[in-house]
């Protein structure tokens, strides 16, 4: 269900895929993140998503005009996971709330893998 804001002259409806895109781009600006992850249906392993399918690793739920965002991420080897996750949460929350006017209830980070850079 899209996020909705009622105004004096009508309703603004923001599709969840738009919010997922904003969240994904915001998350990718954070240090230590390699990308979003999606479960491969064939072998059940998580794979790194390309930029054009970034939102497959993100789920957005809207309940009572409050958002819940789940991000499935792959992080860079050697970073402190808790610090990177906290930075992602803060950046996504700030950008999504600022750009959409919607309030976020929670952002959940699921670290699906670590990538070692060559």
Vertex 35 angle, CA 13 and 106, to 5°: 45
What pTM was estimated for this model as a whole?
0.85
Please check whether residue 78 is in contact with residue 114, taking contact to mean a CB–CB distance below 8 angstroms: no
pLDDT of residue 42: 57
pLDDT of residue 60: 95
pLDDT of residue 7: 79
Query: Among all chains, which residue has been given the structure tokens 């998350």?
Result: 27
Identify the segments of the chain with pLDDT beneath 50.
Answer: none
pLDDT of residue 1: 60
> Alpha helix locations (H) across the chain?
16-28, 81-100
pLDDT of residue 69: 97
Q: Pairing relation of β-strands 58-63 and 10-14?
A: unpaired
**Domains of the chain, first to last:** 3-115 (3.30.70.1350)
Please check whether residue 77 is in contact with residue 116, taking contact to mean a CB–CB distance below 8 angstroms: yes
């Amino acid at each position: 269900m899209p996020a909705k804001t009622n105004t004096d002259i009508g309703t603004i409806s923001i599709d969840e895929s738009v919010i997922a895109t904003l969240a994904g781009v915001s998350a990718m600006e954070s240090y230590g993140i390699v990308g979003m992850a999606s479960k491969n249906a064939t072998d059940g392993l998580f794979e790194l998503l390309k930029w054009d399918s970034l939102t497959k690793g993100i789920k957005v739920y809207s309940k009572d005009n409050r958002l819940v965002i789940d991000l499935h991420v792959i992080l860079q080897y050697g970073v402190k996971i808790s610090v990177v996750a906290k930075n992602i949460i803060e950046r996504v929350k700030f950008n999504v709330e600022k750009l959409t006017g919607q309030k976020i209830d929670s952002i959940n980070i699921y670290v699906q893998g670590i990538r070692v850079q060559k």
